[in-house]
Amino acid sequence: MSEDIFIKPDQETKAETKPGNYFVSNYPPFSFWKEDDVPCVESMLQSPSPGTAPMGIYYHVPFCRKRCHFCYFRVYTDKNSQAVRKYIDATLHELETYAKTPYLEGRKPQFVYFGGGTPSYLSAQQLTELTDRMKSIMPWDEAEEVTFECEPGTLTEKKLEVIKNFGVTRLSLGIENFNDHILETNGRAHRSQEVFRAYEYARNLGFQNINVDLIAGMLEETDANWEECVEKVVELSPDCITIYQMEVPFNTTIFKSMKEQGKLTAPVADWPTKRKWVTQAYEKLEAAGYTITSAYTAVKDPQNTKFVYRDRLWSGADMLALGVSSFGHLGGIHYQNLTHFDQYCDAQERFSNTVRRALLTTDDERFLREFILQWKLGRVSPRYFQSKFGVDIRQRFKDILEKWKEAGDLLEKEGELLLTRDALLRIDSMLHDFFLPQHQNAKYV
Ligand code: SF4
């Protein structure tokens, strides 16, 4: 999960890739989360349990072998096994503390997500110990999905066996591109041979759902190479393919070198080109039998391949965030943990609070959060929002929806609002239309 530094795409220059995030990952924007609301998290934890209300765990692994040039996450490439041990202990202590609170006691996660950084950076032994202890604190036996993000070069057959055995159902491989020169130019640690090797091991081990990530528009991407990437991913035939459009946030190596050279435009493809590449990929994937299920995902068998983490999160589930700089959501309160490794680990050792900032959302913000995030699925149900929040979205957003219809971005079918493919691929820049006035033009920091 990312810590976004986000700017609204500049309307006049939006064709070029300017620095900043365009991806809307939460609402209200992070810059409105504040230290003043941190005590609300503790009050919520002391309130009675909501029983069977959906809940999941996000576990953040902040380690990577190498820092990618486009990466804006807080990751560490220099931690030894002693530091990893310290981190695992701190996160388990955090989980133990949460598990004893009235709000969470006795609740079981319906999804678990290991994200990063690179969860597969941990050794087989570290993973076994971590997950055994996590399960003894808060059992996962009712989890519908356990996702684990991997960097292909960190995977051995033995490690994958361990990952499978501790219950991972959704294995996510950060491939990004199949071309070794592009991987190297973008600072990725792995090479294509490692992708094929890891994929074969994972398939042979029988993982239920294998997702692979690609990025359209990495440094030095070309039409011909992208076409080849799409052909290769179709050949690989994973259960799910996630395609992101490259963005260049401020705290990336790419932005640093842009600044040194006095450049305002990022040295990657412009937005229309990136959208063209995703469109081409989706067309090829559809021809190969995939279904496009969101702005970023194509799925081979939509009946049986779910993404519980995303769907629960986008419909307001509680999410317990563990680890440095992790983002969570409990009982309508957003929160983020301390963002520095030592600060976080030391605070856990001292039994101090590790929440850095929070936001007690209003009913309207909770409605808007779901409404905004669900547009990324390409379809929104007025009935759902009427019954859950009592909001008539057609009425409340009449002008915006009319404008979208007139622009050919929106259709209405069987009572649902549907985005066209073209609009779906631009959705992150369109969502700002729904932000409350006080959140418009906000910077995410
Ligand atoms: S592997 Fe992911 S988290 Fe690690 S440096 Fe690269 S982009 Fe960042």
Q: Where are the alpha helices (DSSP H) in 267-340?
A: 271-287, 308-313
Domains contained in the chain, number: 2
Strand partners, 291: 299
Grade residue 150 by pLDDT with cuts at 50, 70 and 90: very high
CATH code for the domain in which residue 260 is found: 3.80.30.20
pLDDT band at 14 (very low <50, low <70, confident <90, very high): low
167 dihedral zone (left: phi>0; alpha: psi -120 to 50; beta): left
In a domain? residue 325 = no
pLDDT at 226 over 90: yes
pLDDT: which is higher, 255 or 11: 255
Q: Is 207 in the pocket of ligand 1 (CB under 6 A)?
A: no
Q: Of all atoms in ligand 1, which is nearest to the CA of residue 151?
A: 1
With respect to residue 77, please indicate whether it lies within any of the assigned structural domains: yes
Mean pLDDT, residues 215-228 taken together = 98
91 lines ligand 1 (CB under 6 A): no
CB 117 near ligand 1, within 6 Å: yes
Mutate which of 2, 3, 74, 118 to test ligand 1's pocket (most atoms within 8 Å of Cβ)?
118
DSSP string spanning 201-238? HHHHHT-SEEEEEEEET-TT--HHHHHHHHHHHHHH--
What pLDDT is stored for residue 443 in this prediction?
Answer: 59
Which is higher by pLDDT, 74 or 7?
74
Q: Per-residue pLDDT averaged across 263-269, rounded?
A: 90
Percent of the chain whose predicted confidence (pLDDT) is above 90: 91
Q: Which amino acid is at 194?
A: E
State whether 369 and 298 are in the same domain: no
Q: Tell me what pLDDT residue 336 has.
A: 98
In this predicted structure, what is the pLDDT of residue 221? 98
Nearest CA to ligand 1 atom 6: 68
Say how far apart CA 232 and CA 179 lie, in whole Å. 10
Would the pLDDT of 11 be above 50? Answer: no
Q: Please tell me the distance from the alpha carbon of residue 258 to that of residue 101, in angstroms, as a whole number.
A: 47
Atom of ligand 1 nearest to the CA of 72: 8
Banded model confidence at residue 20, pLDDT cuts 50, 70, 90: confident
In a domain, 231, yes or no: yes
pLDDT at 21: 81
Range of the domain at 381: 364-445
Q: Ligand 1 centre and the CA of 67: distance in Å?
A: 6
Q: Are residues 298 and 396 in the same domain?
A: no
Instruction: Give the E-state strand segments of 225-326 in sequence order.
Output: 240-245, 291-292, 297-299, 318-322
Strands 333-337 and 327-330: antiparallel
Q: What does the chain come to in residues?
A: 445
E-assigned strand segments in 48-95:
55-61
Residue 396 domain flag = yes
Q: Range with the lowest mean pLDDT among 10-24, 217-231, 285-299? A: 10-24
The CATH number of residue 414's host domain is: 1.10.10.920
Stretch 172-189: mean pLDDT, rounded?
98
* Average pLDDT of span 213-228: 98
Q: Are 33 and 376 in contact (CB under 8 A)?
A: no
> Is pLDDT of 8 > 60?
no
Question: What is residue 100's DSSP assignment?
Answer: T
Q: Give the global pTM.
A: 0.95
Is the pLDDT assigned to residue 295 strictly greater than 70?
yes
- Whether residues 178 and 260 share a domain: the answer is yes
Residue 15 covered by a domain: no
Please report whether residue 290 resides in a domain.
yes
Report CA(399)–ligand 1 centroid distance (Å).
Answer: 40
Among 252, 284, 312, the domain-final residue is: 312
Determine if ligand 1 sits within 6 Å of the CB of residue 73: yes
Instruction: Quote the tokens at residue 199.
Output: 């994929």
Same domain flag for 93 and 231: yes
d(CA 173, CA 207): 12
- Determine whether the shortest distance from the Cβ of 374 to ligand 1 is under 6 A: no
Report pLDDT for 264: 87
2 lines ligand 1 (CB under 6 A): no
Q: Does residue 286 sit in the same domain as residue 431?
A: no
Beta strand pairing call for 297-299 and 240-245: antiparallel
* Residue where one domain finishes, among candidates 250, 282, 312: 312
Distance 178 CA to ligand 1 centre (A): 16
Helix ranges, 28-113 (H) = 38-45, 81-99
Check residue 444 and give its pLDDT.
53
Nearest-CA residue for ligand 1 atom 2 is 117
Q: Which residue has the tokens 């591109």?
A: 177
Q: Report cis status (omega within 30 of 0) of the bond before 28.
A: yes
Task: Kindly report which listed range (118-127, 131-140, 252-261, 359-368) carries the lowest average pLDDT score.
Answer: 252-261
| Within a domain: 357 | no
- 277, 296, 312 — which closes off a domain? 312
Find how far residue 201's CA is from the centre of its chain. Answer: 25
Closest-CA residue to 304 (of 144, 64, 96, 138): 144
| Rounded (5°) CA angle 426-428-430 | 70
- DSSP-derived secondary structure for 10-23: PSTTTTS--BBB--
Asked whether the beta carbons of 239 and 301 are under 8 A apart, the reply is: yes
pLDDT for 3 beyond 80: no
Q: What is the pLDDT of residues 53-89, one digit of tens each?
A: 999 999 999 999 999 999 998 899 999 999 999 999 9
**Which pLDDT score is estimated for 12?**
37
Q: Is the CB of 62 under 6 A from ligand 1?
A: no
User: How confident is the model over 344-355, as a mean pLDDT?
Assistant: 95
Count of other CB atoms within 10 angstroms of residue 278:
25
Tell me how far the alpha carbon of residue 118 lies from the centroid of ligand 1, in angstroms. 7
Query: What are 108-145's pLDDT values in tens digits?
Result: 999 999 999 999 999 999 999 999 999 999 999 999 99
Establish if 273 belongs to a structural domain: yes
- Which amino acid type is present at position 409? D
Task: Work out which ligand 1 atom sits closest to the CA atom of 65.
Answer: 4
Question: Counting atoms of ligand 1 from 1, which one is nearest the CA of 116?
Answer: 3
